[in-house]
Amino acid sequence: MTEQQFFEQLKANGITLSDGQLQQFRQYHEILVEWNEKMNLTAITDREEVYLKHFYDSITAAFYDSITAAFYVDFTKPLSICDVGAGAGFPSLPIKICFPHLKVSIVDSLNKRITFLHHLADELKLTDVHFYHDRAETFGQNAAHREQYDLVTARAVARLSVLSELCLPLVKTGGHFVAMKGAGAADELEQGEKALKLLGGKKSAEYAFTLPEEESERSVIVVEKTKSTPKKYPRKPGTPNKSPLS
């Protein structure tokens, strides 16, 4: 996906970027490639692939659905967002570039990735962004963050039954958890339904589509937090992955 195609596809889905925002995406790609030579951030570094599989794919959660006449997730609101296991900043930082007013927090278990994200945010002049070096399981038990966010996002981190235990404890009651998934999302949702209910969540929407050009399957699953998560969740580090809720 070329930069022009990226711009046009976003515009067709309700998001118009300024020259300054396009420049931020150019810098993002340059810094990503530069740091990727020193540490393993991504296997995808080709410019057009990064624009499609990282930038565009991250922003799909914010698309406008002409059928329902609504945004998948309305990022035009003044939201506080936590991105769990964001790695090189996906999906939250591409979304932050498109919607600069958002307050974004990222938690990641690898400190060198946090170092990269600090540098990236400084270079892109992003404000209201915070980075935390922590395991999602312990972060979710931290009173300063537990049930404090309007929206929690995660992209390609774990299966939904695991992911919901890492993310829903951070969501305010009345807020939302957004899981960005590839093929097999319907099966994950079916298998993770009991976990969602146990943790205080309920699926409110699901959007299935294909990425342009390569036509690979994608889904955005939106879960509403309808009640407080029981205090024992998330369980200790490693347990959700070893023994998913069912």
Domains and CATH numbers, the chain: 74-242 (3.40.50.150)
Average pLDDT, the chain: 94
87: annotated binding-site residue? no
Q: Is the pLDDT reported for residue 140 higher than 90? A: yes
How far from chain centre, in Å, is Cα 32?
Answer: 17
Return the number of other C-beta atoms located less than 10 Å from residue 43's C-beta. Answer: 8
- Among 73-82, 147-156, 181-190, which stretch is predicted with the lowest mean pLDDT? 181-190
Instruction: Give residue 127's pLDDT band: very low, low, confident or very high (50, 70, 90).
Output: very high
Q: Is the pLDDT reported for residue 67 higher than 80? A: no
137: annotated binding-site residue? yes
Q: Is the pLDDT reported for residue 184 higher than 90? A: no
55: annotated binding-site residue? no
Q: CA 142 to CA 146: how far, in whole Å?
A: 6
Give the HSE-up count for residue 245: Cα atoms under 13 Å, Cβ half-sphere.
Answer: 22
Q: Is the pLDDT reported for residue 204 higher than 80? A: yes
Residue 131 bridge partners (DSSP):
106
Residues in contact with 69: Cβ distance below 8 Å, sequence separation at least 6, in sequence order = none
| Torsion angle, alpha carbons of 62, 80, 100, 159, to 10 | -40
CA distances from 141 to 144, 163, 226, 230, 231 (A): 9, 15, 19, 11, 8
